[in-house]
Structure 1
């Protein structure tokens, strides 16, 4: 059973999300919070596997709360939920350690899939957000950025590079295992090594490393 904390300042939104999650057999809502400070306190109290975090909340916003939560020992995965999809919001959220960024009009099936992926150590972005990430990367000074990115990949093995490409394409561990004819446990092990070697905190940062190095176009 995957335990979920819902953090949103609107009671109706929290109720709607709870209703969606309660239609499943493998997800359970263990707590709710109406602001960022309460969310961080609820994480300490209830130890959820995944937090659904609104960005704009009183007292402490979702991004500040996410950064605080991700600094805790064995932190939960955090999925940001918002009605906005500005570049600044996306990159602040990912920089704070969010495992995913979804718009509030995301279909329920995609929301449930994102929670399951986050609990398994994967990440999911709305298609609109994915396009923003790619666009931001391509607008950089590619020559300097690519040289720096390739230098970071010096310690990465050939197999790890293959897996990094698959992550850059947005594939989850199970799909990577099928594509590369590996066990899912082996893929997870390689992903762990990539986190360590590239000092990444989530799969989105690994995907960015692949884009910046030119491994994925």
Structure 2
């Protein structure tokens, strides 16, 4: 199996060095290069082919949100994993909206960072356990996702299993946790989520949760 090629983007030299050490010490991963801001990250992708980018959100010249949006639009084969000191709505929702496949805080353990990179490479989402409730709170507060009668009926009926997956997603569960609770494979979880997003006509999990809450299909739990 080919090593996962990783670009590290962060304006802090110590953080770049720490992530480089983690990647170089782990089998199956390869540090491909580094950038200190969003402009450098976009330029790097024009001439290189990283599999996954570890993207800081708060950087000079061009921040991580803008860089993520440009990269995921122009290079859809590259997965972006936001990694930042902040788990607040100010950074969390914009990063996911820009196309980031995951969001980690910088104090995550090396094993969690590597697992998140692998998840993004595998086409899954990776949300740090410490920010999953912030994500739910941000969706609730920023998007006013209350059941609405004006949106009309559910346009396409969900299967019982798809509804179960949605309920667990609303509780902040990640793919492995959903697979364990439902006694199915992670690949099957991903397939159910893909069908849910297709039925709702949305492109990511955040939008799927918003739509599901608007239809009154889920309640976004804070515990």
TM-score (norm 2): 0.81
CA distance in 1, matches of 2:128, 2:31: 22
Partners of 1:149 and 1:106 lie apart in 2 by 41
1:5 maps to 7
Match of 1:105, SS? coil
Q: Distance in 2 between matches of 1:149 and 1:162?
A: 25
Alpha-carbon distance, 1:108 to partner: 1.6
Q: How does 1:73-92 map to 2 (within 5 A)?
A: 73-92=75-94
Per the alignment, residue 132 of structure 2 pairs with: 130
Q: Does 1:187 align with 2:189?
A: yes
Contact 1:8 1:53 in 2 (8 A): yes
Flag the structure with higher helix content: 1
State the distance in 2 between where 1:148 and 1:77 align: 36
Alignment of 1:194-213 (within 5 A): 194-211=196-213, 213=216
The offset of 1:96, in angstroms, is: 1.0
Cα distance, 1:165 vs structure 2: 2.3
Q: CA deviation at 1:39?
A: 0.7
Match of 1:16?
A: 18
> How many aligned positions are there?
216
Deviates more, 1:167-176 or 1:100-109: 167-176
**TM-score normalised according to structure 1 size:** 0.83
Tell me the equivalent position of 2:57: 55
CA distance in 1, matches of 2:140, 2:209: 13
Gaps of 5+ in 1: none
Aligned to 1:154: 155
RMSD, aligned α-carbons: 2.8
CA distance in 1, matches of 2:72, 2:188: 26
Q: Deviations over 1:65-91 (max 9, x none)?
A: 001011124332211122233322212
Are 1:123 and 1:204, in contact at CA under 8 Å, matched by a contact in 2? no
CA separation in 2, counterparts of 1:100 and 1:194?
19
For residues 177-203 of structure 1, what are the alpha-carbon distances to aligned partners after superposition, in whole Å with 9 as ceiling and x for unaligned? 444344544433332222323343333
| Distance across 1 between alignment mates of 2:205 and 2:133 | 16
